[in-house]
Amino acid sequence: MALTINRLLLAALAALFAFTGAADAASKSKIDRRVDKALAEFRDQIGGADAVLNRAAGVLVFPSIKKAGIGIGGEYGEGALRIGGRTAGYYSSAAASIGFQLGAQARRQIIVFLDPEALEKFRSSQGWEIGVDASVTVITLDAGAQIDTKELNQPIVAFVFDGKGLMYNLALEGSKITRIHKD
């Protein structure tokens, strides 16, 4: 039953984004430019971001995840995994939902793998679902806040923000992250 609902939600998501044009695939160079910009904004807006990024075994950056819904909703974005400052692969993030919803938004998402084993488990997966395959701690801070790196003791930490600051009360559970192959 749950598998059928998931397939229905993914089909609705695909239809929604095919209609809106949001699922157009970006080129490697375009994704890399957007990732660079998102990381620069993260470093500029949040104190301690450099320390977190320097501790990371890997950083998965989605420069833009677009979300829209009218009763049935979905979100989609493409990004890159950086290891040692270099792109190690390209990924998509997708989620779908049913319920009372109306509107659209875009956000940036940075997932920091602080534990090398968690990063390796992610890289070896065929598809990785937050909340099922891994627990991700979501950090909520105001723009201009300071990250206390001594308090970060989770293997995977996510930061969600837009160009104007971090967003509040965002749940990432149910987001499916899949490796995409770029030409």
How many C-beta atoms lie closer than 10 Å to residue 101's C-beta? 14
Q: Which residue has the tokens 């989620």?
A: 95
Total count of domains within the chain: 1
Q: Closest Cα partner for 75 from 107, 48, 46?
A: 107
**Residues 62-97 pLDDT 10s:** 999 888 778 787 889 999 999 999 999 999 999 887
Q: Closest Cα partner for 79 from 12, 169, 178, 170?
A: 178
Domain that holds residue 101: 2-180
pTM score: 0.79
**Residues 17-40 pLDDT 10s:** 444 444 456 799 999 999 999 999
Query: What is the percent of the chain where pLDDT is above 90?
Result: 39
**Residues 124-141 pLDDT 10s:** 988 888 766 667 887 766
Residues with Cβ within 8 Å of 67's Cβ and at least 6 positions away in sequence, in order, are 73, 74, 75, 104, 105, 106, 107
In the structure encoding, which two tokens stand for residue 42, read together?
Answer: 């993260």
Cβ(92)–Cβ(58) below 8 Å: no
Q: Closest Cα partner for 112 from 77, 78, 62, 148?
A: 62
The percent helix, strand, coil of the chain (3-state, each to 5) is 30, 40, 25
